[in-house]
Structure 1
Amino acid sequence: MADYLWSTQSPLQKALVPGRQGVRSGEAGIALTEMTGVAVVQIMARRGRWAQTAKAARAHFGVGAPDRPMAAFGKAATLVWSGPDQFLAVAAVDGSAGPIAAMSDAFAGNASLSDQSGGRCRIRITGARARDALAKISSLDLHDTVFPVGAAAATSIDHTGVNLWRSADVAGNAVYNVLVFASFADSLWHTLVDAAAEYGVDVDRMALPRG
């Protein structure tokens, strides 16, 4: 009889090789990081209950729910627009009964919740040449004037559907976040590494900080 090991592992377990890749001379133009320990909950307002859902989001997360393509940064989660009357709550895993248990009371009667944590992979892209790499594989205009901090889009990269948003800059460089279905993460990762290779890319994985 075959042995089975029911343990969680990264969808990039084989694809992600930490360290410098691509051009190795000079400073890396891009840092490509898999963010682990990520909880993702899809929150969809029930018919006619968007106003109540948005109010519940503000009370629970300390920030209003995004009603257009944008990301809102709350006290314990980032809320990312994912379509009309719906958004994703992206937070660090807290080791409790699960992300929905912590939110169910807040949204009871107003929204439906779906735990997407095990089916999504979050990748962070930053560095002086991050926008140049993404321009090769995305049709979005990511210039600062049209895609500033807090901008978000439900889009595709290399024919793969993703949620993309920009968080606060680090060391003067834009930080882009990609949330992709786990089954497509391996393929997308290789595409991102290939696009970044000519600029030099530092590859790593890190746990999403809590709070």
Structure 2
Amino acid sequence: MTSALDTFPVTQMPADGHYGPAGIHGVSVRVFDPPALALLAARRGGASALTVAAHATLGLALADAPRLARANGLGTIGAGPGRWLVLAEAPEDLTARLAPLAAHAAITEQTDGYVGFELSGVRTRDVLAKGVAVDLDPAAFPPGAAATTNVAHINVTFWREPGEERFVFLVARSYRVAFARFLIASGAEYGIAFAHRG
């Protein structure tokens, strides 16, 4: 019996299209390259000073928690003690924009290292329940909540977008095919559609 995974090689991303029973569409996946992404890591003992400087110079709120915050075309996600991922909404030289924070943090360009997967649809939580060891109930994981964890043995950072039932995952580029295969294996029974965007 042919499975949805048999339709593309283990070394290639799935093509745009639908996987699973015809006429059933429970999950949509948009695969994209982040416009700009960097990691901020506070220098020893400098997390408080970094937080103050980020707010004063860029209007950024660096929450000491795994949460998404947005301001001035940038998003921040707490990725661990004294560490934040910073995402730009449009392509830009993010390290240059973050340069005023260099006295308080190490700034590492990460844009080319990650691929984004945005999941939406009525069966999204059912798919994620098969591999995400985080309580995704809306009461426990409201819009703006984020986590860094392992999914199907792949390290990911993800968050829930405000508004619609949407989750966005950042996956190391070298694991993008493995993560796509996890999504198809977990979501084919609900009908899962892939679309790639720049």
- State the TM-score, normalizing by the size of structure 2: 0.88
| Partner in structure 2 of residue 197 of structure 1 | 188
Root-mean-square deviation (CA), in Å?
1.7
Deviations 1:96-148 (A, max 9, x none): 5x22012112x031111000111111111111110110001111110100000
Counterparts of 1:125-204 in structure 2 under 5 Å? 125-170=119-164, 174-204=165-195
Over 3 Å counting, the alpha-carbon distance change for 1:125 and 1:60 in structure 2 is farther
Name stretches of at least 5 consecutive residues in structure 1 with no aligned partner.
1-12
Deviation at 1:25, TM superposition (A): 1.2
Task: Write out per-residue CA displacement over residues 157-209 of structure 1, whole angstroms, 9 at most, x where no aligned residue.
Answer: 00111101111133xxx1111111111111111111221111111211224xx
2:187 counterpart letter in structure 1:
A
* Contact 1:93/1:99 (<8 A) preserved: no
**146-155 vs 28-37, which moves further:** 28-37
SS of 1:136's partner is coil
Distance 1:74 1:23, change over 3 A: farther
Count how many residue pairs are aligned between Structure 1 and Structure 2: 188
Separation of aligned partners in 2, 1:161 and 1:68: 18
**What does residue 103 of structure 2 align with?**
109
Q: Structure 2 unaligned segments of length 5 or more: list them.
A: 1-10
State the match for 1:10 in structure 2.
Answer: none
- 1:192 is paired with a residue of what secondary structure? helix
Q: 2:84 aligns with which of 84, 87, 103?
A: 87
- TM-score (norm: length of structure 1): 0.83
Which residue identity lines up with residue 19 of structure 2 in the other structure?
A: Q
Q: Equivalent residue for 2:8?
A: none
Say whether the 8 Å CA contact 1:34–1:123 is kept in structure 2: yes
Q: Percent identity?
A: 28
